[in-house]
Amino acid sequence: MIDSVIYCFKWTLYYLHEYRFTIMLVMFFSFFTFYVFFIKKLEIFIKGKNKKLKELEKTNKEYQESLEYYESITQKYKDKIKAYEQDIQTLVQEKPKLNLQANYEKGKIYEYKIKLYYESLGYRVFPNGYINGKRDGGVDLIAYKGSEVRLIQTKCYKNPPRQHLLRLFVGDCTLHIKKNIKFLKNKDIYKDFITSCEEIDYGVSEFLKENPEEINYQIKRFANE
């Protein structure tokens, strides 16, 4: 047994000595191939990481620009927003004296309550309808939090809104996004249509079934709205 082991060992040494250059060459090319393959993979990995990092930096920059934009317009109109809040508070206090059929006043109070509702969820809310009036582009409120932007229309209706109002709102949101694309890139944009009427029109129901991702239809009742 020992003789066999010694014999094999001698032949192994002889083989290694005789073909040492061939073995070294094979080993060299093997290591070289592995090295090139590893470096290539590493290079691709680093490039991918750098690309993702640049995309993340770009997204963060766009998010910051968006946040600064909304903060800037909030500051720009802070006096008007303060007047808006005081105006609504006055309406709420004088509501018993108001004609309950005065839909304009009721609508303003309802819109303000929706604003407070979103703020209770952690959103900053810009009263676009009050600030811009008829030039609001069909968007009453703009709520933003993190990467979310919610374009909101409020309807304090006794009767259920019809389908054409939802279609009109979707179109208005599309135009708003197009005009403000610089500040809405990489944002999660939602279209919230909110009404006080608990009944749902058949046409609206069918529209929501056919377009489940297009619009968020919500019913929000507030006491004595």
pLDDT in tens, 153-197: 999 988 999 999 999 999 999 999 998 887 787 788 999 999 999
Same-domain check for residues 201 and 130: yes
pLDDT of residue 25: 55
Mapping DSSP to helix (H, G, I), strand (E, B) and coil, where does residue 222 land? coil
Top-confidence residue, 86 or 94: 86
pLDDT of residue 100: 47
pLDDT of residue 79: 75
**Domain assignment present for 73:** no
**Residue 124 is part of a domain; what is its CATH number?**
3.40.1350.10
Same-domain check for residues 14 and 109: no
Same-domain check for residues 160 and 100: yes
Digit-coded pLDDT (tens) for 66-89: 666 666 766 776 777 777 777 777
Range(s) of the domain holding residue 127: 78-219
- What mean pLDDT is reported for the chain? 77
Top-confidence residue, 58 or 171: 171
Digit-coded pLDDT (tens) for 3-33: 565 655 555 555 555 555 565 656 666 666 6
Total domains in the chain come to 2
Contact by Cβ (8 Å): 118, 152: yes
Give me the percent of the chain exceeding a pLDDT of 90.
30
**Domain assignment present for 66:** no
Top-confidence residue, 32 or 115: 115
Contact by Cβ (8 Å): 120, 164: no
Same-domain check for residues 142 and 110: yes
**Domain assignment present for 185:** yes
Same-domain check for residues 151 and 108: yes
**Domain assignment present for 128:** yes
Same-domain check for residues 43 and 135: no
**Domain assignment present for 68:** no
Residue 91 has pLDDT above 60, yes or no: yes
* Nearest partner of 154 among 135, 188, 179, 127, judged by Cα: 127
Same-domain check for residues 86 and 180: yes
* Nearest partner of 142 among 67, 222, 204, 90, judged by Cα: 67
Model-level pTM? 0.65
- Give bridge partners of residue 125 from the DSSP assignment: 143
Same-domain check for residues 168 and 95: yes
